[in-house]
Amino acid sequence: MSGTAGALWSCAPAVPRPVPWETPSTASRASRDRRTVKAVDDDARLLERLRAGDEAAFVALVAAHHDAMLRLASNFVSSRAVAEEVVQDTWLGVLRGIDRFEGRSTFRTWLLAILVNRARTTGVREARSIAVGDAAPAVDRARFDASGAWSSPPEHWVEDAEERIGAAALSTHINAALEQMPPRQRAVVTLRDIDGLDSDEVCAVLSLSQANQRVLLHRGRSQLRRALETVLEGGS
Amino acid sequence: MLLWGSPMACQEVVELVSDYLEGALPRGERRRLERHLAGCPHCTEYLAQMRETIRLTGRIVPGDFTPQMREEFTELFRRWREDEDEPL
């Protein structure tokens, strides 16, 4: 069956790498999915229908995860078109391997791990190692005095930031700040803070250690905070 | 033995807040940081800004799943089904 399937899909790699199906390290994650219980339940129900061959269930699953998948794939490849191909290729892999999903991780963790695997096979931007050396400090050193105390302390905007920026502009500014980040940092921040994965899931999906995940998250979040501060305080 | 540890500088706090929010600071570090926060309104403000940043990042508007995408994936599914049904 899979021998003939590849020929139909020009975007599929001729020899797909083995997919990281289930590993002990991703076990018991199902209950820790930070999305609503409903979202996880929905996945499980759709998956059951998909296994029975339900086309509508497939499309509903795709729709539910498409945004996160496209964003994640974009971290590894150079164009949106290629990212879309990676997403399609991932779903094809899911269809072919559906019986191998045992439900020990959430469906989403499994899905995104397959995606990253495919994206890395395809990607031209993949970094082989994370540089976790020196990076810009979370806050410009010039804002502290010699003792390390604030000389230019943060202003108060936490209560009305969303109102002042506006929903549409907020997305624009956050996306612009994400765009500036190195791909892995962006991947960690978006998976955690936009898609709502927990740290274990992110480590499983991106093959990161907890320590590196935290470093990348710290840098990314600090950068996003600076971006919001710049918008809200009208300077840098 | 240093029961209380040395005081923490603001500049150090801003590098540790993420690990603090992650619950990943060793107990001693966490205590030093919390002791600093208790006496420093600026770092308390900074921590609040980090929390708000996380919340606002989660508010960005997701991309649309367009009718064209729906069509493409429906097509992908049908082609896969046909392929599955083919005798080997």
Regarding an ipTM greater than 0.85, the answer is yes
> What does the pLDDT read at residue A32?
45
Q: The pTM is what?
A: 0.81
Is the same domain home to A43 and A104?
Answer: yes
Residues 44-83 of B with CB under 8 A from A: 45-46, 48-54, 56-63, 65, 69-70, 72-74, 76-81, 83
> What does the pLDDT read at residue A7?
30
Residue A20 maps to a domain = no
Does any CB of chain A come closer than 8 Å to the CB of residue B3? no
Residue B84 phi/psi, 5° resolution?
-60, -40
- Which residue range is the domain that position B34 belongs to? 1-61
- Which residue range is the domain that position A181 belongs to? 141-233
State mean pLDDT over A215-225. 96
Is the same domain home to A97 and A153?
Answer: no
Compute CA distances A57 → A49, A54, A85, A106, A114, whole Å.
Answer: 6, 5, 21, 17, 19
- A167-179 and A210-233 are packed helices; what angle lies between their axes, rounded to 10 degrees? 130
Compute CA distances A148 → A46, A136, A153, B9, B41, whole Å.
Answer: 54, 16, 12, 5, 15
The number of folded domains in chain A is 2
Residue A64 maps to a domain = yes
Q: What is the CATH number of the domain that holds A78?
A: 1.10.1740.10
**Which residue in A67, A155, A170 is closest to B59 by CB distance?**
A170
Cα-Cα-Cα-Cα dihedral sign, residues A53, A55, A57, A58 = positive
Residues 155-194 of A with CB under 8 A from B: 155-158, 161-162, 167-168, 170-171, 174-175, 189, 193-194
Residue B22 maps to a domain = yes
Instruction: Report how far residue A112's alpha carbon sits from residue A69's, in angstroms, rounded to the nearest whole number.
Output: 7
- A193–chain B nearest CA distance, Å: 5
Residue A61 maps to a domain = yes
Is the same domain home to A35 and A117?
Answer: yes
Residue B68 maps to a domain = no
B1-60 residue pLDDT tens: 455 568 899 999 999 999 999 999 999 999 999 999 999 999 999 999 999 999 999 998
